């Protein structure tokens, strides 16, 4: 299978930091536009929506790393932690924007929203589930938790599904955009039960030795 020219190992760390920097550009640019009065109409909502949308995009990108490797032989596993953490930072900023700029820290209104509006309940649940994943996205936790780490991080499937659902339920009419995110997340999750069989089949076809059999 054709594959991209490999990035020399000495640039790996730098490329990950670059991803963090580039990944935060939409938030920084959106904040700059909002703070300088260049977002039209309802600037707080525009910014809030931008952050939520990018959170969902980074979740989708995180889930896409494994199928990219399985299907196209592109190994970007080194970027997965950064993508997942970017998703977390965007969800955190999304929530803070809602709490501070939109609701002016009116905690009564915020708690009522979380308790009474299903799409906010679901979004909030996804945010809460992301916290342990973000806290354990480091080498020390992986060593410390052992097999438990993999189990814990399977929560990302629930989180991504909740995120896509939150987006679809937040709008008055579910349009193509929401359906695309729902479909992407569904496909990426559906790939997981298929992939052991697919990889066995691929190895059999290539007649390659079966290293790293799980």
Partner 1 sequence: AEALKASPSQYKVDEKLTPEKDVTTYNNFYEFGLGKGDPAANSEKFKPTPWTIKVDGLVGKPKEFGLEELLAMPLEDRVYRMRCVEAWSMVIPWVGFPLAALLDQVEPLGDAKYVAFETIVRPEEMPGQGGYFQSLPWPYVEGLRLDEARHPLTILSVGVYGKTLPNQNGAPIRLVVPWKYGFKGIKSIVKITLTDKQPPSTWNLAAANEYGFYANVNPEVDHPRWSQASENRIGEGGFFGANRRPTLPFNGYAEEVASLYAGMDLRANF
Instruction: Among 40, 147, 193, 209, indicate the residue that binds partner 1 (CB under 8 A).
Output: 40
Q: How many angstroms separate the CA atoms of 30 and 70, rounded?
A: 35
Query: Considering only 19-27, 43-51, 71-79, 184-192, which stretch makes contact with partner 1 by CB under 8 A?
Result: 43-51
152 binds partner 1 (CB under 8 A): no
Q: Closest distance between partner 1 and the C-beta of residue 30, in Å?
A: 10
**What's the min distance (Å) between Cβ of 96 and partner 1?**
13
Calpha distance 48→169 (Å, rounded) = 16
The one segment of 8-16, 63-71, 105-113, 202-210 that binds partner 1 by CB under 8 A: 105-113
Which has the closest alpha carbon to 188: 72, 54, 62, 88?
62
Check residue 42 and report its DSSP letter. Answer: S
Q: Crossing angle for the helix pair 25-35 and 43-72, nearest 10 degrees? A: 170
The verdict on 103 binding partner 1 (CB under 8 A) reads yes
Q: What is the largest CA-CA distance in the chain?
A: 63
Stretch near partner 1 under the rule CB under 8 A, chosen from 12-20, 50-58, 68-76, 109-117: 109-117
Site residues for partner 1, window 176-195 (CB under 8 A)? 176, 179
DSSP 3-state assignment of 45? helix
Tell me the two tokens of residue 14: 């730098």
Among 19, 27, 47, 133, binds partner 1 (CB under 8 A): 47
Helices (H), 117-154: 118-135, 139-145, 147-153
Answer whether 159's CB lies under 8 Å from 126's CB.
yes
Pinpoint the alpha helices (H) of the chain.
12-23, 25-35, 43-72, 80-96, 107-116, 118-135, 139-145, 147-153, 155-170, 176-206
Segment lying near partner 1 (by CB under 8 A), choices 96-104, 143-151, 186-194, 198-206? 96-104
Assess 113 for contact with partner 1 (CB under 8 A). Answer: yes
Nearer to partner 1, 81 or 166 (CB): 166
Residue in 28, 175, 186, 187 binding partner 1, rule: CB under 8 A: 175
43 binds partner 1 (CB under 8 A): yes
Contact flag: residue 117 with partner 1 (CB under 8 A): yes
Binding site for partner 1 (CB under 8 A): 34-35, 37, 39-45, 47, 101-104, 109, 112-113, 116-119, 169-173, 175-176, 179
């Amino acid at each position: 299978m054709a594959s991209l020219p490999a990035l020399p190992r000495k640039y790996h760390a730098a490329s990950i930091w670059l991803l963090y920097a580039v990944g935060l550009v939409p938030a920084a640019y959106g904040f700059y536009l909002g703070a300088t009065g260049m977002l039209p109409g309802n600037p707080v909502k525009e910014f809030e929506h931008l952050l939520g949308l990018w959170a969902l995009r980074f979740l989708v990108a995180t889930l896409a790393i494994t199928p990219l490797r399985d299907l196209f032989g592109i190994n970007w596993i080194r970027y997965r932690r950064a993508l997942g953490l970017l998703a977390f930072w965007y969800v955190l900023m999304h929530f803070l924007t809602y709490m501070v700029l939109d609701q002016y820290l009116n905690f009564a209104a915020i708690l009522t929203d979380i308790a009474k509006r299903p799409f906010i309940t679901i979004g909030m649940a996804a945010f809460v589930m992301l916290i342990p994943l973000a806290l354990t996205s480091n080498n020390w936790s992986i060593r410390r938790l052992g097999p438990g780490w993999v189990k814990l991080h399977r929560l990302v499937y629930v989180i991504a599904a909740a995120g896509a659902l939150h987006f679809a339920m937040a709008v008055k009419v579910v349009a193509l955009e929401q359906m695309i995110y729902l479909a992407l997340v569904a496909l990426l999750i559906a790939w997981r039960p298929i992939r052991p069989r697919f990889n066995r089949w691929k190895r059999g076809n290539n007649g390659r030795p079966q290293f790293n059999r799980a």
